[in-house]
Structure 1
Amino acid sequence: MRLDKFLKVSRIIKRRALAKEVAGQGRILINDKVAKSSTNVGVNDHIEIRFGNKTLVIKVDQLLDTTKKDDAERMYTIVSENYEQDFRK
């Protein structure tokens, strides 16, 4: 399954176009390699996404073409969720 579709179906990112934009900026890694929106995602892959001051790392548990809201959370496990501090104050 394509990365942009996985992020949309799993509801990590709400829209596929936004997932494509984030990937195009080099802010998504799959197994420690920069990923494009067309990169294939497989079960047990680790995906790291940088959202501004937050970094989310997930492990892919299953791939589903469509999901309901409750099933979307079963597609992945959160490995870590880190927030960067702003020390410029």
Structure 2
Amino acid sequence: MRLDKFLKLSRLIKRRTLAKEVADQGRITINGNKAKAASDVAVGDELVIKFGQKLVTIQVTDLRENVKKDEAETLYKVLKEEKPE
């Protein structure tokens, strides 16, 4: 699944166009490698996303095409949240 689509479905980022912009700015890594919006995401991948003054590390636990709002958090597990130095 594309990175921008996963971020939208998981509700980590509300809109796919915004997810694409964040990825293209180099603020997301997949398993330590810089990611683009079209990068593939697989179950078990570790994503590090920079949200303003916060770094969030998540692990992809599930990939689905359709997700209800209350089930969106089942697609990932937050490993850590930290403020960059």
Q: Residue 33 of structure 1 aligns with which residue? A: 33
* Deviation >3 Å, runs of 4+: none
Instruction: Please list, as runs of the form range in 1=range in 2, the aligned pairs for 1:42-81 lying within 5 A after superposition.
Output: 42-81=42-81
Q: What amino acid is the match of 1:75?
A: L
Ranges in structure 1 where 5+ consecutive residues have no aligned partner:
none
Q: TM-score, normalised by structure 2?
A: 0.96
Higher Cα Rg, which structure: 1
TM-score when scaled to structure 1? 0.92
Deviation at 1:66, TM superposition (A): 1.3
1:26-79 Cα distance to aligned partner (Å, 9 max, x none): 000000000000000000000000011001100000001111111100000000
In the alignment, does 2:46 pair up with 1:11? no
Q: For 1:81, give the aligned amino acid.
A: E
Number of equivalent positions = 85
Q: Equivalent residue for 1:22?
A: 22
Percent identical among aligned pairs is 53
Deviation, structure 1 residue 83: 2.2
